[in-house]
Amino acid sequence: MASSMLSLGSTSLLPREINKDKLKLGPSGSNPFLRTKSLSRVTMSVSVKPSRFEGITMAPPDPILGVSEAFKADTNELKLNLGVGAYRTEELQPYVLNVVKKAENLMLERGDNKEYLPIEGLAAFNKATAELLFGAGHPVIKEQKVATIQGLSGTGSLRLAAALIERYFPGAKVLISAPTWGNHKNIFNDAKVPWSEYRYYDPKTIGLDFEGMIEDIKEAPEGSFILLHGCAHNPTGIDPTPEQWVKIADVVQEKNHIPFFDVAYQGFASGSLDEDAASVRLFAERGMEFFVAQSYSKNLGLYAERIGAINVVCSSADAATRVKSQLKRIARPMYSNPPVHGARIVANVVGDATMFGEWKAEMEMMAGRIKTVRQRLYDSLVSKDKSGKDWSFILKQIGMFSFTGLNKAQSDNMTNKWHVYMTKDGRISLAGLSMAKCEYLADAIIDSCHNVS
């Protein structure tokens, strides 16, 4: 490779002036200078040191972003983007909650300053987020047993916890569901925490492989971390029933495992904040120590503001204090302190009774739209499909996503023939579906399911 350092300041050297002894060898050991075809092209090279970034290859495209890019490039009128994990209105537009606009205007009027937050984030936010999760009067909060710090949405909060696990539980494994959100693996990989999978999705029933899940959790070495989706499992939309949650709690306790909840959809799944926190609260009732990562990307539509939290429920206030201090120590060399804007929005919304009520209403509306669209899709499928296939799994799933049961070839058919963009694992985002498009989607699914193998 030609020189990585052009010296524009010094006189340019003609080939005959270059002392070959001074040339550095390329990575293969051969003299790159001798490889050049035309000497005259090398006049600019002073020294032929290879780039220090020589061996760096292109990172693979993100499996989800790639979908949106392909969608954008498609010129067909009928195209439908069901890859996006972001809420859309019936008109398929992004949605900024009214209560968020209100909060922002309030903040503007107040003229809040932009000083650094403390490493652990905005105190008002931390208080609000823990209360939202556990319920305001909950013993773990009253007794100060929860270490809460503001994190960079769900991702950042998960990453902080992963780093804590790596530091204090060296060698401990995290069990993640098969399948799970794609970035979970990246997070644990980069944090150098080993992971393995527990059975979750059953393609035969397009439902939960509960026996497999329990078996795998039982099999795991004592004291493993079990990553659980609090509600609205991503990507399948399949959640355990309340009775199943009880059994999961039993086996987790039996094996001394540490539960690790990812709660990205509180309020967004059923429409009720409390109902969606039921699984977490169940575990809290048991007196277990566990982690919970939260995100406000979807339920407050604050995607880009990166607002979330990591909560560590400990058995004592003293442990919580120590754990919080160590979480801060992990955050400091990552980003020093978290961004203020999203935190203030959440704190304002939750802290004002009127706005909180408005938020709940808007959330119910969003969750409601998704439920309605699910129903319409189901109805379309049932009325159009003459094969007698049971489509009820669509109604049993919950949240933004639905696992259609389509395999890769069938998903490709959805895209190539029908211009329906989705991820290759068969996941569709109902948040990107409008009532108007349900019939078309049903046609596409039926075709892909029955005519492609």
Partner 1 sequence: MMATAIRNSASRGTMMSRQISGLRSMSSWWKNVEPAPKDPILGVTEAFLADPSPDKVNVGVGAYRDDNGKPVVLECVREAERRIAGTSFMEYLPMGGSVKMVDETLKLAYRDNSEFIKDKRIAAVQSLSGTGACRLFADFQKRFRPDSQIYIPVPTWSNHHNIWRDAQVTQKTYHYYHPETKGLDFSGLMDDVKNAPEGSFFLLHACAHNPTGVDPTEEQWREISQLFKAKNHFAFFDMAYQGFASGDPARDAKSIRIFLEDGHHIGISQSYAKNMGLYGQRVGCLSVLCEDEKQAVTVKSQLQQLARPMYSNPPLHGAQIVSTILGDPALKGLWLKEVKVMADRIIGMRTALRESLEKLGSPLSWEHVTKQIGMFCYSGMTPEQVDRLTSEYHIYMTRNGRISMAGVTTGNVGYLANAIHEVTKSS
Q: Does 65 bind partner 1 (CB under 8 A)?
A: yes
Q: Does 73 bind partner 1 (CB under 8 A)?
A: no
Q: Does 19 bind partner 1 (CB under 8 A)?
A: no
Ranges within 210-229 binding partner 1 (CB under 8 A) = 223
Q: 327 vs 420, which CB is nearer to partner 1? A: 327
Q: Does 243 bind partner 1 (CB under 8 A)?
A: yes
Question: Which residue among 102, 145, 181, 209 is the active-site one?
Answer: 181
Q: Does 91 bind partner 1 (CB under 8 A)?
A: no
Ranges within 252-271 binding partner 1 (CB under 8 A) = 253-254, 256, 258
Ranges within 124-183 binding partner 1 (CB under 8 A) = 152-153, 155-156, 159, 168-169, 183
Give the separation between CA 359 and CA 94, rounded to whole angstroms. 17
CA distances for 329 relative to 128, 326, 333, angstroms: 23, 5, 7
Q: Does 396 bind partner 1 (CB under 8 A)?
A: no
**Alpha helix locations (H) across 220-268?**
242-254
| Residue 195 a catalytic site member | no
Question: Which residue among 209, 239, 262, 276 is the active-site one?
Answer: 262
Using the rule CB under 8 A, which residue among 11, 20, 22, 53 binds partner 1?
Answer: 53
Q: How many alpha carbons lie under 13 Å from residue 7 in its C-beta half-sphere?
A: 11
Q: 146 vs 377, which CB is nearer to partner 1? A: 146
Q: Does 86 bind partner 1 (CB under 8 A)?
A: yes
- Cβ–Cβ under 8 Å, residues 266 and 128: no
Q: Does 94 bind partner 1 (CB under 8 A)?
A: yes
| Residue 418 a catalytic site member | no
The full length of the chain comes to: 453
Q: 57 vs 453, which CB is nearer to partner 1? A: 57
Q: Does 4 bind partner 1 (CB under 8 A)?
A: yes
Q: How far is the CB of 56 from partner 1 (least distance, A)?
A: 5
- Cβ–Cβ under 8 Å, residues 395 and 370: no
- Cβ–Cβ under 8 Å, residues 416 and 393: no
Q: Does 22 bind partner 1 (CB under 8 A)?
A: no
Ranges within 180-199 binding partner 1 (CB under 8 A) = 183, 186-187, 189-191
Give the separation between CA 157 and CA 161, rounded to whole angstroms. 6
x/- track of binding to partner 1 for residues 316-355 (CB under 8 A): x--x-xxx-xx-xxx-xxxxxxxxxxx-------------
Residues contacting residue 217 through CB under 8 Å, at least 6 positions apart? 175, 198, 226, 248, 251, 252, 255, 257
- Cβ–Cβ under 8 Å, residues 320 and 145: yes
Q: Does 89 bind partner 1 (CB under 8 A)?
A: no
Helices 123-134 and 340-351, interaxial angle, to 10°?
60
Using the rule CB under 8 A, which residue among 273, 302, 428, 449 binds partner 1?
Answer: 302
Q: 179 vs 405, which CB is nearer to partner 1? A: 179
Give the separation between CA 58 and CA 288, rounded to whole angstroms. 44
Give the separation between CA 341 and CA 308, rounded to whole angstroms. 12
Q: 355 vs 438, which CB is nearer to partner 1? A: 355
| Residue 181 a catalytic site member | yes
- Specify whether the backbone of 223 is left (phi greater than 0), alpha (psi in -120 to 50) or beta: left
Provide the annotated active-site residues. 181, 262, 298
